[in-house]
Amino acid sequence: MAIAPIFKKAYWSLAIVGGLYFVYMTLLLNGWVQRQALYAHNVHTAWWQGPNKPEQFGFLKNQVRPFTIITPDGEKLYAWHTLPLSTYIKNEDALVQESTSSREDPESSLAFKLLAKDPESRLIINFHGNAGTVAQGWRTDTYRALTSGLVDKLHVVAVDYRGFGYSTGSPDEKGLIIDGIATVKWALNVAKIPPEKIVLLGQSLGTAVATAVAEHFVVKEGLEFRGVVLVAGFSDLPTLLTTYAIGGVIPILSPLRPYPRLQQFFAKNIQETWFSATRLVNLVRKSKNINLRIIHAQNDFEILWTHSNTLFSAAANATSTGDQGLTQEQIDELKIHQDLGESGFTNSWITVQEDGGRKSIKQDVVRHGGHNRLVTYPVVAKAIANIFQ
Ligand SMILES: *[C@@H]1O[C@H](CO)[C@@H](O)[C@H](O)[C@H]1NC(C)=O
């Protein structure tokens, strides 16, 4: 008899949680709410630790130069250019003496000249994940890891998409792709870095941007980059949201798993789809040469590492010139698998096409690195070094 009120309590708390989830899902059907949840661009710490003083994040004086990229539709994107440490050391006196107020005219800055005037410069264009700014969390460690001597004269440019940090506008799929293209065009046309010296690096949401941008350049402009590196990526947003949890904690569609029709209904109403696997297939097909790296950690609780299997298989399949493509069994049989114990494993797929082109696709799955930190780990640095070798 005394147990009954406890059951009653449990029943009510369940009903309240269920009710709240229902309200939350109904809200998520609204496009604006969806974009706030997916991009989380208003979640950042620039209020009290702004990216305009990169020294706050451990960089040397003028090692990082903030600058602006204007998109064709008039948005002003805030970007960071990080100098290679060895280049910094060679030019230390001049860099230290340079006034930070010369930001008004970034192309007159020494940092820009060191990038643009050296024919040996190489460049990583970094597309970050959702939330935060170029200076958020592990992102600054990424720039440090990549500019500390990994590859000679390797610069990093990172950009805040529209609506993020100090960039103007508000984000959506089309806009973020415009931003990515504008950033690459800045590198090609303003800094004059040839595409064979550029690697596109994306993390999480940034993998979808990097893929869409690389696809755009190969399809629309016939340009191929040195490499594309996708860290903690996903196949497409509706699929991702059936397992995704914001920050690894707040689920979106996964509680609906017992109700597939309801789950499908919500998945269909997702306006931002980011069909990355489809774009990746197109990118691999249309490229003559491609160097693609797909990297994921098994302890990533935001985006399950199995997404990297989907991306790898889609990319491998896209190298096939037959009408039928390949089956999953054929891909599993033909790929080169290497077990690395506590480090995880790799799968490689290298084809030489009839036209002499070479398509190299590699999947690195590590056991450790989580969702956000992985991009700072040696597995990513090594992939980039291999690409430039
Ligand atoms: C490979 O691509 C073909 C289309 O070209 C498709 O029919 C097939 O299902 C794909 N295989 C896998 C494993 O996705």
Identify whether 197 is part of a domain.
yes
Q: What are φ and ψ of residue 350, in 5° steps?
A: -125, 125
Ligand 1 centroid–CA 12 distance in Å is 48
Identify whether 222 is part of a domain.
yes
- pLDDT over 80 (residue 5): no
Q: Which residue has the higher pLDDT, 383 or 103?
A: 383
Asked if 350 and 315 count as a contact pair (C-beta separation under 8 A), the reply is no
Q: Which residues does 270 contact at the CB level (< 8 Å), separation at least 6?
A: 34, 237, 238, 241
Asked if 365 and 345 count as a contact pair (C-beta separation under 8 A), the reply is yes
Q: Tell me the C-alpha distance between 34 and 30, whole Å.
A: 6
Overall number of domains in the chain:
1
Identify whether 107 is part of a domain.
yes
Q: Which of 236, 227, 325 is nearest to 272 (CA)?
A: 236
Q: Is 321 in the pocket of ligand 1 (CB under 6 A)?
A: no
If one residue of 317, 329, 349, 361 were mutated to test the ligand 1 pocket, choosing by the most ligand atoms within 8 A of its CB, it would be 317
Identify whether 19 is part of a domain.
no
- Predicted confidence at residue 259, as pLDDT, reads 80
DSSP string spanning 247-271? TTTEESSGGGTT-HHHHHHHHHT-S
pTM of the entire predicted model? 0.92
Identify whether 7 is part of a domain.
no
pLDDT tens digit string along 37-68?
889 898 887 777 789 999 999 999 999 999 99
Identify whether 72 is part of a domain.
yes
pLDDT tens digit string along 96-118?
999 876 556 778 899 999 999 99
Report the SS3 class of residue 357. coil
137 CB burial (10 A radius; 0-12, 13-18, 19+): middle
CATH number for the domain harbouring residue 59: 3.40.50.1820
Per-residue pLDDT band for 121 (boundaries 50, 70, 90) equals very high
Q: Which residue has the higher pLDDT, 322 or 182?
A: 182
Identify whether 251 is part of a domain.
no
Protein residue closest via CA to atom 9 of ligand 1: 327
Q: Is 133 in the pocket of ligand 1 (CB under 6 A)?
A: no
Identify whether 46 is part of a domain.
yes
Q: Tell me the C-alpha distance between 156 and 24, whole Å.
A: 39
Ligand 1 centroid–CA 331 distance in Å is 10
Q: Tell me the C-alpha distance between 229 and 150, whole Å.
A: 16
pLDDT cut 90: percent of the chain above it:
73
Ligand 1 centroid–CA 314 distance in Å is 8
Protein residue closest via CA to atom 14 of ligand 1: 314
Strands of the chain (E only): list them: 64-70, 76-82, 122-127, 154-159, 198-203, 227-231, 245-246, 250-251, 290-297, 336-339, 345-352, 358-366
Q: Is 278 in the pocket of ligand 1 (CB under 6 A)?
A: no
Domain range for 170 is 32-241+267-388
Q: Is 194 in the pocket of ligand 1 (CB under 6 A)?
A: no
